């Protein structure tokens, strides 16, 4: 495994060697476990000729510029070369005219194209999402490939056009499936922000202190994660961790059952940090759903990081932080009514300076999956339309939503459609005041830096 500095300036030969080496050694880490996978991909048997396959609401295809399928959200990739072949031909038509195809619209369907030569990504969606969001999802899928293989994958395909990238990605399909599914449920992704676990400020700062003081020299980033929420993290002063990298980390940790059993040591590439080389992640679940993650540039620092982790866990237990964290994880979600505003049925608050999102729990009328999904799509729509405006109001039979945008924050507040506009404005102002009062509990205001 190569460090960041070593990964740069690789010759083609070395890259090929690396690919071949990876095929044999590293694959052992990524490949499916020996026992039959109880989470086998549900629609993996479908083919393009199946009406069922065609009627999925969102397809994602990844293929090489030779038209070879690499990943498909639904269906058996080996049967998809017909589809990817046509897509490849459409793309090359654009290229032959010195142009680039971006999007096709047919009724409710959108076909969005993203070219990251030598990789091509196409999304086919009947979800009525804004095109920008579909393209952002494709960017994440691409970033996930880089996360697993680094940008070196481009060189592999450029020198060996018919190389079957599926060999390198075997066993990781669930990670992609999970990522796409997560992006379709979690508004922190399309708002380019992160969720934080609501926590008493003292507890959070204790965790921060522990991470900072226990940090050993090999640790680049250290973070404590609870499912898809950050508890706290320590970082170098000059290299903040961007939300897009954070989401890849969260996806990795939450996609694989194998991380939960023991200490794990995994290569990971963070595209925003450096797309050309691997970092190395030490992963340990210290409680159900609570995970400690230490990232290093040094490939040989497992033992050092393991010792560091021991110290952290010890201190967390000594200061009684862990029960607080677990309590918050299982009982800490607050209802919209906690804001003291009875008319408010849901909201989304985006803090632009910290790039963090606060979202309450779902209560009636959003208890069921279908209505939650509809609300998610509404937030997507409002976020997209409210851009460039100061205020955006939208009402239908279902609900009214008010979006208020400034340089410092964006707020999306949802009410019953019967409420008057006066009530909405008053409620929004109240909500802002409540957020301000609660901000040290809802957000990580000052994560420790070194």
Partner 1 sequence: FEHEKLLYYYPEGVDDTTTTRAIGLSEGLVRFTSTFSQDKPCETVNFKNKKCAFYEPEPGLWMVFVAGIFPNTPVVDAAVMHCIVRRCYAAYALFNGTFQSCLDQDGRETLRRKLAIFIPQFLSTYKLKQTPFFNAMEGISFFPCDKNVFLQIQCLVNLVEKSFGEIKETFVMNRDLLMWSGLEQRDTRTLYNYLCIATDKYAEEESGTSKPYLPSVPVTGAISSASRHELQYVNLLRAMQKRSGLVRIPPRKKDQDDKTRTLDENLAAVSNMYIGENSSQKRRVAIYSGRRGVSCVFLMDPEADTEYYVLNDFVKSHLSGIAPHINTRIVQTGDIFDGKLDYYCLYYNDMNNAAKGMWSTASNSGDFTFPTHATHAVMRMHNDFGKRDERPSEIVMRTSEGRWLVGRKSEQRELYVLFEDKDTINSIIDVHEFLQRLNTGYFGNLFLD
Among 9, 36, 342, 388, binds partner 1 (CB under 8 A): 388
> Is 170 among the residues that bind partner 1 (CB under 8 A)?
no
Chain mean position to CA 339: 28
Cis, peptide link before residue 365, omega less than 30° from 0: yes
Minimal distance, residue 138 CB to partner 1, in Å? 15
Which residue among 25, 33, 45, 102 contacts partner 1 (CB under 8 A)?
A: 102
Tell me the window of 64-72, 205-213, 387-395, 430-438 that interacts with partner 1 (CB under 8 A).
387-395
Taking contact as CB under 8 A, which single stretch among the options 106-114, 147-155, 195-203, 359-367 is the one that binds partner 1? 106-114
Per CB under 8 A, does 90 bind partner 1? yes
Q: In the Cβ-directed half-sphere of 221, how many Cα atoms lie within 13 Å?
A: 24
DSSP structural state of residue 335: P
Shortest gap between Cβ of 381 and partner 1 (angstroms)?
Answer: 8
Window 51 to 70, contacts with partner 1 (CB under 8 A): 54, 59
User: Binder to partner 1 among 167, 389, 429, 446 (CB under 8 A)?
Assistant: 389
> What's the chain's length in residues?
450
CB atoms within 10 A of CB 72: 26
Going edge to edge, which strands form the sheet with 109-116?
69-72, 58-64, 119-125, 109-116
4 vs 425 by CB, closer to partner 1: 425
Q: Residues 141, 181: contact at Cβ < 8 Å?
A: no
Q: Which is nearer to partner 1, 264 or 380 (CB)?
A: 380
Rule CB under 8 A: say whether 390 interacts with partner 1.
yes
Closest distance of CB 108 from partner 1, Å = 7
Rounded to a whole number of angstroms, the minimum distance from the CB of residue 394 to partner 1 is 5
Given 44, 86, 318, 337, the residue binding partner 1 (CB under 8 A)? 86
Q: Does 379 participate in binding partner 1 (rule CB under 8 A)?
A: no
Binding residues for partner 1, rule CB under 8 A, total 45
Q: How far is CA 90 from the centre of its chain?
A: 29
Burial of 300 (0-12, 13-18, 19+ CB in 10 A): exposed
Q: Is residue 394 part of the contact set for partner 1 (CB under 8 A)?
A: yes
Structure tokens at 290: 């609570």
Q: Where are the beta strands (DSSP E) in 269-366?
A: 279-287, 290-296, 344-351, 356-358
Cβ 105 to partner 1 shortest distance, Å:
4
- Name beta bridge partners: 402: 393, 413
Pick one of 421, 433, 436, 437: the residue that binds partner 1 (CB under 8 A).
421
Q: How far is the CB of 386 from partner 1 (least distance, A)?
A: 8
**Does residue 330 have a cis peptide bond before it, meaning omega lies within 30 degrees of 0?**
no
Calculate Rg over the CA atoms of the chain.
23
Tokens of 47: 């083919």
Q: Phi and psi (nearest 5°) for 9? A: 65, 30
- Among the listed residues 4, 41, 47, 109, the single contact to partner 1 using CB under 8 A: 109
Q: Does 422 bind partner 1 (CB under 8 A)?
A: yes
Q: Confirm if 376 and 187 have CB atoms less than 8 A apart.
A: yes
For partner 1, the binding residue among 101, 241, 248, 325 (CB under 8 A) is: 101
CB 196 within 8 A of CB 444: yes
**Any contact of residue 95 with partner 1 (CB under 8 A)?**
no
Q: Which is nearer to partner 1, 123 or 271 (CB)?
A: 123
Which residue has tokens 């939960």? 260
Name which of residues 124 to 153 contact partner 1 (CB under 8 A). Answer: 124, 126, 128
The tokens of 44 are what?
Answer: 């993996």
Cα gap 180→125, rounded to integer Å: 12
Per CB under 8 A, does 334 bind partner 1? no
Applying CB under 8 A, which of residues 45, 100, 213, 257 lies at the interface with partner 1? 100
Tokens of 172: 């990781």
| Segment near partner 1 (CB under 8 A); pick from 211-219, 255-263, 329-337, 394-402 | 394-402
Four-residue CA torsion sign, 90, 74, 174, 58: positive
Nearer to partner 1, 99 or 342 (CB): 99
Considering only 28, 35, 106, 364, the residue that binds partner 1 (CB under 8 A) is: 106
Q: How far is the CB of 146 from partner 1 (least distance, A)?
A: 23
> Given the complex with partner 1, which of 47 and 438 has the nearer CB atom?
47
Return phi, psi of residue 337, to 5°.
-65, -20
Closest approach of partner 1 to the CB of residue 426, in Å: 10
Q: Are 120 and 114 in contact (CB under 8 A)?
A: yes
Interface ranges with partner 1 (CB under 8 A): 48, 54, 59, 86-87, 89-90, 93-94, 98-109, 111, 124, 126, 128, 374, 378, 381, 385-386, 388-398, 421-422, 424-425
């Amino acid at each position: 495994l190569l460090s960041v500095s070593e990964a740069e300036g690789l010759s083609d030969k070395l890259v090929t060697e690396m690919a071949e080496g990876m095929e044999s050694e590293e694959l052992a880490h990524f490949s499916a476990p020996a026992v039959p996978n109880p989470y086998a991909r549900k629609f993996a048997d479908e083919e393009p000729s199946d009406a069922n396959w065609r009627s999925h609401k969102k397809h994602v295809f990844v293929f090489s510029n030779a038209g070879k399928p690499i990943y498909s959200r639904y269906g058996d990739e080996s049967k998809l070369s017909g589809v990817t072949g046509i897509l490849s031909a459409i793309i090359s038509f654009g290229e032959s005219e010195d142009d680039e195809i971006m999007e096709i619209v047919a009724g409710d369907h959108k076909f969005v194209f993203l070219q990251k030569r030598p990789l091509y990504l196409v999304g086919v969606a009947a979800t009525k999402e804004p095109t920008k969001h579909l393209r952002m999802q494709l960017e994440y899928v691409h970033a996930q490939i880089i996360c697993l293989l680094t940008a070196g994958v481009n060189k592999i395909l450029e020198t060996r056009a018919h190389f079957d990238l599926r060999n390198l990605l075997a066993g990781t399909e669930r990670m992609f499936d999970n990522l796409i599914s997560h992006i379709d449920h979690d508004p922190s992704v399309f708002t380019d922000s992160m969720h934080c676990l609501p926590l008493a400020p003292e507890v959070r700062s204790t965790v921060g202190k522990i991470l900072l003081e226990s940090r050993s020299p090999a640790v680049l980033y250290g973070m404590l994660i609870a499912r898809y929420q950050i508890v706290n993290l320590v970082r170098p002063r000059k290299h903040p961790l961007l939300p897009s990298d954070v989401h890849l980390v969260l996806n990795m940790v939450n996609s694989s059952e194998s991380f939960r059993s023991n200490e794990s040591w995994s290569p990971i590439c963070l595209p925003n940090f450096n797309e050309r080389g691997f970092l190395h992640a030490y992963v340990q679940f210290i409680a159900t759903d609570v995970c400690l993650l230490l990232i290093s540039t040094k490939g040989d620092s497992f033992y050092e990081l393991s010792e560091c982790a021991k110290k952290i866990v010890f201190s967390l237990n000594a200061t009684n932080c862990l029960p607080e964290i677990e309590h918050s994880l299982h009982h800490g979600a607050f209802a919209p009514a906690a804001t003291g505003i009875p008319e408010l049925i849901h909201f989304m608050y985006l803090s632009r300076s910290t790039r963090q999102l606060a979202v309450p729990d779902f209560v009636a009328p959003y208890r069921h999956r279908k209505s939650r999904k509809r609300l998610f799509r509404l937030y997507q729509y409002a976020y997209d339309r409210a851009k460039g405006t100061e205020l955006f109001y939208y009402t239908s039979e279902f609900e009214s939503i008010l979006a208020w945008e400034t340089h410092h924050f964006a707020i999306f507040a949802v009410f019953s459609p019967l409420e008057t506009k006066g009530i909405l404005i008053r409620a929004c102002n109240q909500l802002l005041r409540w957020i301000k009062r609660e901000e040290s509990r809802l957000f990580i205001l000052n994560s420790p830096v070194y």
